[in-house]
Amino acid sequence: MATITQVSPLAPAGFPDLPQIAGVRFATAAAGVKYTGRTDVMLAVLDAGTSVAGVFTRSSTRAAPVLDCQQKLGGDSTGPAAILVNSGNANAFTGHYGQASVTEVTQAVAKTTGVPVSRVFTASTGVIGEPLPHDRIVSRIEDMNAGLSGDAIEGAAQAIMTTDTFPKGASAQVEIDGKTVSIAGIAKGSGMIAPDMATMLVYIFTDAGYDQAALQSAVSAMADRTFNCITVDSDTSTSDSLLVCATGAAGVDATGDAGFDAALEQVMRDLAHLVVRDGEGATKFIEIRVTGAMSNAEAKTHGLSVANSPLVKTAIAGEDANWGRVVMAIGKSGATADRDRLSISFGDILVAEKGWVSPDYREEDAAAYMKAPELVIAIDLGLGAGKATVWTCDLTHGYIEINADYRS
């Protein structure tokens, strides 16, 4: 398996100082699921009354933990809850053994923590097609339960990493009825990133209260505007899971509060961007803004077509202002486009308009712009009011090096 030794050049300076969320405690352990010398299991225990909402991969080959979580969401939310995540093994494509492993782990967590098994949510990430050595995880649950702490979220972010080069966290605070409520989230993800619901593994916690059904509806909509708008390599994982947990410990009901919803969506967007910044082998963070489409959905289709194009991504890796590849990606997307109404800009540089290269375009200007680590490609279809923004990274030799021997 490839060893990741260098932190992504697009990584933030360090892990952020996240606010402590009342009503949730964390612990980690080194269970040796696959890795040696590092933590690879995270346990979070949440107070009684916590609302839990989530979205998951729609992959036809989704993993046993995903299926288990999907069955449990929306049930009774009066009791406490728990989340257990392991890295190194995805427990995917493992047949009946996969569900047996989930049962063993969830029952052990329930027995040790006192959380009803119907409120124990698990996730696994790593290699597909190998049985999960769940006994190694079960053997560490008592130790983790004894070591639960409210200020251990950074360690939790580290424990769920696979090919990630840095732990990912984001937060926000908002005032509701004179009281401050906090939101803090962690994520893992670097490759196999083209979410079809949420993304990779993401866990977000708030001390606000929020009706479960309303939270589920809000999170599903927010995921479509954040995690479902990123791509690294066009591949959707078998294990993508996002859980948002509202403990209510702050004594504030945030259900439907516009300010809180905006803050939660910003945390989701920040985490989504961090995943792209840690894209396997990435050296460029790319924002693709599409306007003038027939609908928002068609704008997103165009944006993802450009973002997923290996030819576009490799040109950007080579700092080549090859705008013709953007034209190609728009043309193949399947969404409505008119060559003679199309405009393309790289940053503030108008590259093409009305189906032809702009008369003011200078190749040297675009070439200089492409050297920046963060790029914006703006596309206007000239057809309607539809718009969307998606985010991706470049495609480099580093991606091949990481994935060519990931399993071996």
Which amino acids are annotated catalytic? 199
Closest by CA to 31, choosing from 105, 129, 112, is 105
| Chain centre distance of CA 267 | 11
Q: Do the Cβ atoms of 305 and 330 come closer than 8 Å?
A: yes
* Residue whose pair of structure tokens reads 């009825």 in the numeric block: 177
The secondary structure element, H or E, covering residue 127 is: strand 120-127
HSE at residue 25, side-chain half, CA atoms within 13 A, is 11
| Separation between Cα atoms, residue 96 and residue 102, nearest integer Å | 10
**φ, ψ (nearest 5 deg) of residue 124:** -135, 140
Classify each residue of 221-248 as buried b or exposed e, where b means 16 or more C-beta atoms within 10 Å of its C-beta: ebbebbbbbbbbbbebbbbbbbbbbbbb
Residue 200 DSSP label: S
Q: Do the Cβ atoms of 98 and 64 come closer than 8 Å?
A: yes
- And the tokens for 145? 């339960």
HSE at residue 269, side-chain half, CA atoms within 13 A, is 14
Q: Do the Cβ atoms of 126 and 365 come closer than 8 Å?
A: no
What distances in angstroms separate CA 112 from CA 140, 147, 278, one per listed residue? 11, 12, 35
| Separation between Cα atoms, residue 26 and residue 205, nearest integer Å | 12
